[in-house]
Structure 1
Amino acid sequence: MQNEPTSIFDQDFLKETFVRRRQLMPLALKIYVWFFLAFSVYGALSFIYINSTRWLNVAKYESFDKLLLISIFTGLAFPVLRFLSNLFIWLEKRKAVLFAVIITALHILYCCFSFVIIFNMFRRFDFMMWTVPLVLLEIPYLVLLLNIRKRWEQTGISGNEQEQHFKGLK
Protein backbone atom coordinates (compact mmCIF):
# COMPACT_ATOMS: atom_id res chain seq x y z
CA MET A 1 0.00 0.00 0.00
CA GLN A 2 1.07 3.50 -0.68
CA ASN A 3 1.39 6.27 1.84
CA GLU A 4 -0.94 8.92 0.55
CA PRO A 5 -0.58 12.51 1.73
CA THR A 6 -3.36 13.79 3.92
CA SER A 7 -5.98 15.79 2.18
CA ILE A 8 -7.97 18.67 3.61
CA PHE A 9 -11.03 16.52 3.07
CA ASP A 10 -9.87 13.72 5.38
CA GLN A 11 -11.49 13.43 8.79
CA ASP A 12 -8.12 13.06 10.51
CA PHE A 13 -6.95 16.34 9.03
CA LEU A 14 -10.12 18.10 10.16
CA LYS A 15 -9.79 16.70 13.69
CA GLU A 16 -6.33 18.23 13.92
CA THR A 17 -7.58 21.67 12.88
CA PHE A 18 -10.44 21.86 15.36
CA VAL A 19 -9.67 23.34 18.75
CA ARG A 20 -12.01 22.48 21.58
CA ARG A 21 -13.08 25.42 23.69
CA ARG A 22 -12.06 23.58 26.84
CA GLN A 23 -8.51 23.40 25.49
CA LEU A 24 -8.49 27.20 25.29
CA MET A 25 -9.16 27.46 29.01
CA PRO A 26 -6.15 27.84 31.29
CA LEU A 27 -6.01 25.63 34.37
CA ALA A 28 -6.86 28.55 36.66
CA LEU A 29 -10.08 29.20 34.75
CA LYS A 30 -11.06 25.53 34.96
CA ILE A 31 -10.53 25.65 38.72
CA TYR A 32 -12.61 28.84 38.98
CA VAL A 33 -15.43 27.26 36.94
CA TRP A 34 -15.60 24.23 39.22
CA PHE A 35 -15.28 26.38 42.35
CA PHE A 36 -18.10 28.70 41.32
CA LEU A 37 -20.28 25.75 40.30
CA ALA A 38 -19.93 24.25 43.77
CA PHE A 39 -20.08 27.61 45.56
CA SER A 40 -23.29 28.64 43.80
CA VAL A 41 -25.01 25.38 44.73
CA TYR A 42 -23.84 25.84 48.32
CA GLY A 43 -25.02 29.48 48.29
CA ALA A 44 -28.48 28.61 47.01
CA LEU A 45 -28.96 25.71 49.42
CA SER A 46 -27.70 27.66 52.43
CA PHE A 47 -29.93 30.61 51.52
CA ILE A 48 -32.95 28.32 51.38
CA TYR A 49 -31.99 26.54 54.62
CA ILE A 50 -31.35 29.74 56.57
CA ASN A 51 -34.48 31.54 55.43
CA SER A 52 -37.01 28.70 55.20
CA THR A 53 -38.33 29.06 58.76
CA ARG A 54 -38.69 32.81 58.32
CA TRP A 55 -40.61 32.32 55.07
CA LEU A 56 -42.94 29.78 56.70
CA ASN A 57 -43.63 32.12 59.62
CA VAL A 58 -44.36 35.05 57.32
CA ALA A 59 -46.59 32.95 55.09
CA LYS A 60 -48.44 31.49 58.08
CA TYR A 61 -49.22 34.65 60.03
CA GLU A 62 -49.38 37.30 57.34
CA SER A 63 -50.67 37.51 53.85
CA PHE A 64 -48.21 36.22 51.27
CA ASP A 65 -46.40 39.44 50.66
CA LYS A 66 -44.78 40.63 47.44
CA LEU A 67 -41.78 41.66 49.50
CA LEU A 68 -41.30 38.02 50.48
CA LEU A 69 -41.26 36.98 46.83
CA ILE A 70 -38.76 39.72 46.03
CA SER A 71 -36.47 38.62 48.85
CA ILE A 72 -36.60 35.00 47.67
CA PHE A 73 -35.95 36.00 44.06
CA THR A 74 -33.04 38.32 44.83
CA GLY A 75 -31.46 35.86 47.24
CA LEU A 76 -31.52 33.06 44.68
CA ALA A 77 -30.88 35.08 41.52
CA PHE A 78 -27.11 35.40 41.69
CA PRO A 79 -26.37 31.82 42.78
CA VAL A 80 -28.60 30.40 40.05
CA LEU A 81 -27.20 32.74 37.37
CA ARG A 82 -23.65 32.04 38.52
CA PHE A 83 -24.30 28.30 38.34
CA LEU A 84 -25.79 28.54 34.86
CA SER A 85 -22.99 30.72 33.49
CA ASN A 86 -20.31 28.32 34.73
CA LEU A 87 -22.27 25.29 33.56
CA PHE A 88 -22.51 26.83 30.09
CA ILE A 89 -18.75 27.44 30.13
CA TRP A 90 -18.12 23.82 31.04
CA LEU A 91 -20.53 22.69 28.30
CA GLU A 92 -18.60 24.93 25.87
CA LYS A 93 -21.49 27.08 24.70
CA ARG A 94 -20.49 29.87 22.32
CA LYS A 95 -21.80 32.86 24.32
CA ALA A 96 -21.10 31.36 27.75
CA VAL A 97 -18.05 33.51 28.46
CA LEU A 98 -19.93 36.69 27.60
CA PHE A 99 -22.78 35.59 29.88
CA ALA A 100 -20.31 34.85 32.69
CA VAL A 101 -18.59 38.23 32.23
CA ILE A 102 -21.92 40.04 32.55
CA ILE A 103 -23.01 38.04 35.62
CA THR A 104 -19.62 38.46 37.33
CA ALA A 105 -19.47 42.20 36.64
CA LEU A 106 -23.02 42.67 37.92
CA HIS A 107 -22.23 40.66 41.05
CA ILE A 108 -19.10 42.71 41.76
CA LEU A 109 -21.08 45.93 41.38
CA TYR A 110 -23.90 44.55 43.53
CA CYS A 111 -21.49 43.52 46.31
CA CYS A 112 -19.73 46.88 46.29
CA PHE A 113 -23.02 48.78 46.25
CA SER A 114 -24.58 46.73 49.05
CA PHE A 115 -21.37 46.94 51.10
CA VAL A 116 -21.44 50.74 50.89
CA ILE A 117 -25.17 50.93 51.67
CA ILE A 118 -24.95 48.62 54.70
CA PHE A 119 -21.85 50.39 56.01
CA ASN A 120 -23.61 53.76 55.73
CA MET A 121 -26.71 52.41 57.48
CA PHE A 122 -25.07 50.57 60.37
CA ARG A 123 -21.47 51.87 60.44
CA ARG A 124 -20.22 48.31 60.87
CA PHE A 125 -18.04 46.16 58.66
CA ASP A 126 -18.92 42.79 60.15
CA PHE A 127 -22.32 42.48 58.43
CA MET A 128 -20.83 41.88 55.01
CA MET A 129 -17.27 40.80 55.65
CA TRP A 130 -17.79 37.78 53.37
CA THR A 131 -18.14 40.09 50.36
CA VAL A 132 -14.53 41.26 50.42
CA PRO A 133 -12.94 37.80 49.83
CA LEU A 134 -15.63 36.96 47.28
CA VAL A 135 -14.97 40.12 45.27
CA LEU A 136 -11.23 39.50 45.54
CA LEU A 137 -11.84 36.02 44.06
CA GLU A 138 -14.07 37.35 41.31
CA ILE A 139 -11.65 39.96 39.96
CA PRO A 140 -9.02 37.47 38.63
CA TYR A 141 -11.88 35.30 37.35
CA LEU A 142 -13.24 38.27 35.43
CA VAL A 143 -9.79 39.03 33.99
CA LEU A 144 -9.39 35.41 32.85
CA LEU A 145 -12.82 35.51 31.21
CA LEU A 146 -12.05 38.76 29.42
CA ASN A 147 -8.72 37.37 28.14
CA ILE A 148 -10.30 34.26 26.65
CA ARG A 149 -13.57 35.75 25.35
CA LYS A 150 -12.64 36.55 21.73
CA ARG A 151 -10.80 33.29 21.09
CA TRP A 152 -13.64 31.34 22.75
CA GLU A 153 -16.32 32.82 20.52
CA GLN A 154 -14.33 32.77 17.26
CA THR A 155 -12.06 29.74 17.08
CA GLY A 156 -13.29 27.19 19.55
CA ILE A 157 -15.66 24.34 18.94
CA SER A 158 -17.45 22.27 21.54
CA GLY A 159 -17.19 18.52 21.69
CA ASN A 160 -20.85 18.23 20.77
CA GLU A 161 -20.41 20.48 17.71
CA GLN A 162 -17.37 18.44 16.68
CA GLU A 163 -19.33 15.18 16.86
CA GLN A 164 -22.20 16.67 14.84
CA HIS A 165 -19.77 17.93 12.20
CA PHE A 166 -18.15 14.54 11.74
CA LYS A 167 -21.52 12.77 11.60
CA GLY A 168 -22.38 15.07 8.70
CA LEU A 169 -19.19 14.05 6.84
CA LYS A 170 -19.99 10.33 6.93
Structure 2
Amino acid sequence: MNLIIEQIRRGNRKVYENFFNNNYESLVIYANGYLFDQQASEDTVQDVFIYVWENAARMNITTSLRAYMYTMVRNRCFNYLKSMKITDNYDFLDFNINLITEHVFDSTSTENKKIVHHQILKIVDSLPDKMQQIVKLKFLHNYRYKEIAEELNISVNTVKTQLKRAKIKITESVTSILILLDML
Protein backbone atom coordinates (compact mmCIF):
# COMPACT_ATOMS: atom_id res chain seq x y z
CA MET A 1 0.00 0.00 0.00
CA ASN A 2 1.23 3.46 -0.85
CA LEU A 3 2.12 5.33 2.36
CA ILE A 4 1.42 8.72 0.80
CA ILE A 5 -2.14 7.87 -0.23
CA GLU A 6 -2.74 6.33 3.18
CA GLN A 7 -1.66 9.58 4.85
CA ILE A 8 -3.82 11.61 2.47
CA ARG A 9 -6.77 9.34 3.30
CA ARG A 10 -6.20 10.24 6.95
CA GLY A 11 -6.32 13.94 6.08
CA ASN A 12 -2.61 14.65 6.55
CA ARG A 13 -2.31 18.03 4.81
CA LYS A 14 1.46 18.20 5.22
CA VAL A 15 2.00 14.96 3.28
CA TYR A 16 -0.47 16.15 0.63
CA GLU A 17 1.26 19.54 0.32
CA ASN A 18 4.68 17.88 0.01
CA PHE A 19 3.35 15.48 -2.63
CA PHE A 20 1.78 18.43 -4.47
CA ASN A 21 4.96 20.54 -4.31
CA ASN A 22 7.14 17.64 -5.48
CA ASN A 23 4.95 16.66 -8.42
CA TYR A 24 2.90 19.64 -9.59
CA GLU A 25 5.41 21.16 -12.00
CA SER A 26 6.34 17.89 -13.72
CA LEU A 27 2.65 16.98 -14.09
CA VAL A 28 1.91 20.39 -15.67
CA ILE A 29 4.78 19.87 -18.14
CA TYR A 30 3.41 16.40 -18.89
CA ALA A 31 -0.14 17.76 -19.43
CA ASN A 32 1.20 20.56 -21.63
CA GLY A 33 2.72 17.89 -23.88
CA TYR A 34 -0.85 16.89 -24.72
CA LEU A 35 -2.69 20.20 -24.56
CA PHE A 36 -0.08 22.77 -25.65
CA ASP A 37 -1.93 25.23 -23.45
CA GLN A 38 -0.24 26.24 -20.20
CA GLN A 39 -3.39 27.45 -18.46
CA ALA A 40 -5.43 24.39 -19.42
CA SER A 41 -2.54 22.17 -18.32
CA GLU A 42 -2.34 23.87 -14.93
CA ASP A 43 -6.12 23.64 -14.50
CA THR A 44 -6.10 19.96 -15.42
CA VAL A 45 -3.36 19.11 -12.93
CA GLN A 46 -5.02 21.15 -10.18
CA ASP A 47 -8.29 19.31 -10.83
CA VAL A 48 -6.49 15.99 -10.47
CA PHE A 49 -4.92 17.04 -7.17
CA ILE A 50 -8.29 18.24 -5.87
CA TYR A 51 -9.85 14.96 -6.94
CA VAL A 52 -7.18 12.99 -5.06
CA TRP A 53 -7.68 15.05 -1.90
CA GLU A 54 -11.45 14.75 -2.01
CA ASN A 55 -11.64 11.09 -3.09
CA ALA A 56 -8.57 9.46 -1.53
CA ALA A 57 -10.72 7.19 0.65
CA ARG A 58 -12.47 5.73 -2.40
CA MET A 59 -9.44 5.36 -4.66
CA ASN A 60 -8.04 1.91 -5.32
CA ILE A 61 -4.43 2.43 -6.35
CA THR A 62 -2.45 -0.64 -7.41
CA THR A 63 0.61 1.30 -8.63
CA SER A 64 2.43 4.20 -7.03
CA LEU A 65 0.41 7.35 -6.41
CA ARG A 66 2.76 9.23 -8.73
CA ALA A 67 2.14 6.81 -11.61
CA TYR A 68 -1.58 6.98 -10.87
CA MET A 69 -1.45 10.78 -11.07
CA TYR A 70 0.26 10.68 -14.47
CA THR A 71 -2.43 8.33 -15.74
CA MET A 72 -5.18 10.58 -14.39
CA VAL A 73 -3.60 13.67 -15.94
CA ARG A 74 -3.24 11.93 -19.30
CA ASN A 75 -6.86 10.77 -19.23
CA ARG A 76 -8.11 14.21 -18.25
CA CYS A 77 -6.09 15.74 -21.08
CA PHE A 78 -7.73 13.32 -23.52
CA ASN A 79 -11.15 14.15 -22.09
CA TYR A 80 -10.40 17.86 -22.41
CA LEU A 81 -9.42 17.45 -26.05
CA LYS A 82 -12.52 15.34 -26.75
CA SER A 83 -14.74 17.92 -25.04
CA MET A 84 -13.56 20.55 -27.48
CA LYS A 85 -15.43 18.54 -30.15
CA ILE A 86 -13.12 19.61 -32.89
CA THR A 87 -14.55 18.79 -36.27
CA ASP A 88 -13.22 19.67 -39.65
CA ASN A 89 -16.16 18.77 -41.86
CA TYR A 90 -15.73 21.81 -44.07
CA ASP A 91 -11.92 22.03 -43.97
CA PHE A 92 -12.36 25.03 -41.69
CA LEU A 93 -8.86 24.57 -40.34
CA ASP A 94 -7.24 24.61 -43.78
CA PHE A 95 -6.47 28.29 -43.94
CA ASN A 96 -3.44 29.70 -45.65
CA ILE A 97 -2.10 33.04 -46.69
CA ASN A 98 -3.53 32.72 -50.21
CA LEU A 99 -7.02 32.07 -48.86
CA ILE A 100 -6.77 35.00 -46.49
CA THR A 101 -5.45 37.11 -49.36
CA GLU A 102 -8.33 36.19 -51.68
CA HIS A 103 -11.11 36.93 -49.20
CA VAL A 104 -9.72 39.74 -47.13
CA PHE A 105 -7.54 41.72 -49.47
CA ASP A 106 -9.72 42.17 -52.54
CA SER A 107 -9.78 45.93 -52.07
CA THR A 108 -6.41 46.29 -50.36
CA SER A 109 -3.44 47.89 -52.09
CA THR A 110 -0.40 45.85 -53.05
CA GLU A 111 1.68 47.70 -50.46
CA ASN A 112 -0.82 46.92 -47.71
CA LYS A 113 -0.92 43.26 -48.79
CA LYS A 114 2.86 43.11 -48.35
CA ILE A 115 2.56 44.67 -44.90
CA VAL A 116 -0.14 42.19 -43.84
CA HIS A 117 1.80 39.24 -45.29
CA HIS A 118 4.87 40.30 -43.32
CA GLN A 119 2.76 40.71 -40.16
CA ILE A 120 1.25 37.23 -40.60
CA LEU A 121 4.76 35.77 -40.70
CA LYS A 122 5.61 37.71 -37.52
CA ILE A 123 2.41 36.43 -35.85
CA VAL A 124 3.28 32.84 -36.73
CA ASP A 125 6.78 33.35 -35.31
CA SER A 126 5.25 34.68 -32.07
CA LEU A 127 3.04 31.61 -31.51
CA PRO A 128 4.05 29.13 -28.79
CA ASP A 129 6.77 26.78 -30.04
CA LYS A 130 4.65 23.65 -30.55
CA MET A 131 1.80 25.59 -32.15
CA GLN A 132 4.31 27.30 -34.44
CA GLN A 133 5.78 23.93 -35.41
CA ILE A 134 2.33 22.57 -36.24
CA VAL A 135 1.37 25.64 -38.30
CA LYS A 136 4.63 25.54 -40.25
CA LEU A 137 4.37 21.81 -40.92
CA LYS A 138 0.80 22.24 -42.13
CA PHE A 139 1.10 25.36 -44.24
CA LEU A 140 4.74 25.63 -45.24
CA HIS A 141 5.42 21.92 -45.75
CA ASN A 142 1.85 20.81 -46.62
CA TYR A 143 1.79 17.99 -44.06
CA ARG A 144 -1.53 16.30 -43.36
CA TYR A 145 -2.91 16.18 -39.82
CA LYS A 146 -1.87 12.56 -39.39
CA GLU A 147 1.65 13.26 -40.66
CA ILE A 148 2.04 16.17 -38.23
CA ALA A 149 0.75 14.01 -35.38
CA GLU A 150 3.23 11.26 -36.22
CA GLU A 151 6.12 13.70 -36.70
CA LEU A 152 5.53 15.40 -33.33
CA ASN A 153 4.28 12.30 -31.50
CA ILE A 154 0.93 13.89 -30.62
CA SER A 155 -2.70 13.09 -31.40
CA VAL A 156 -4.52 14.27 -34.52
CA ASN A 157 -6.99 16.04 -32.22
CA THR A 158 -4.12 18.00 -30.68
CA VAL A 159 -3.00 19.03 -34.16
CA LYS A 160 -6.52 20.22 -35.00
CA THR A 161 -6.85 22.04 -31.68
CA GLN A 162 -3.57 23.87 -32.16
CA LEU A 163 -4.41 24.82 -35.75
CA LYS A 164 -7.80 26.10 -34.66
CA ARG A 165 -6.21 28.23 -31.93
CA ALA A 166 -3.56 29.48 -34.35
CA LYS A 167 -6.22 30.43 -36.88
CA ILE A 168 -8.10 32.40 -34.25
CA LYS A 169 -4.95 34.25 -33.18
CA ILE A 170 -3.90 34.97 -36.75
CA THR A 171 -7.39 36.06 -37.80
CA GLU A 172 -7.71 38.41 -34.81
CA SER A 173 -4.32 39.93 -35.53
CA VAL A 174 -4.95 40.29 -39.26
CA THR A 175 -8.29 41.95 -38.56
CA SER A 176 -6.57 44.45 -36.24
CA ILE A 177 -3.89 45.14 -38.84
CA LEU A 178 -6.49 45.71 -41.57
CA ILE A 179 -8.41 48.09 -39.33
CA LEU A 180 -5.21 50.05 -38.69
CA LEU A 181 -4.38 50.11 -42.41
CA ASP A 182 -7.86 51.39 -43.24
CA MET A 183 -7.29 54.26 -40.77
CA LEU A 184 -4.10 55.33 -42.55
Q: TM-score, normalised by structure 1?
A: 0.25
Larger relative CO (CA 8 A, sep 6+): 1 or 2? Answer: 1
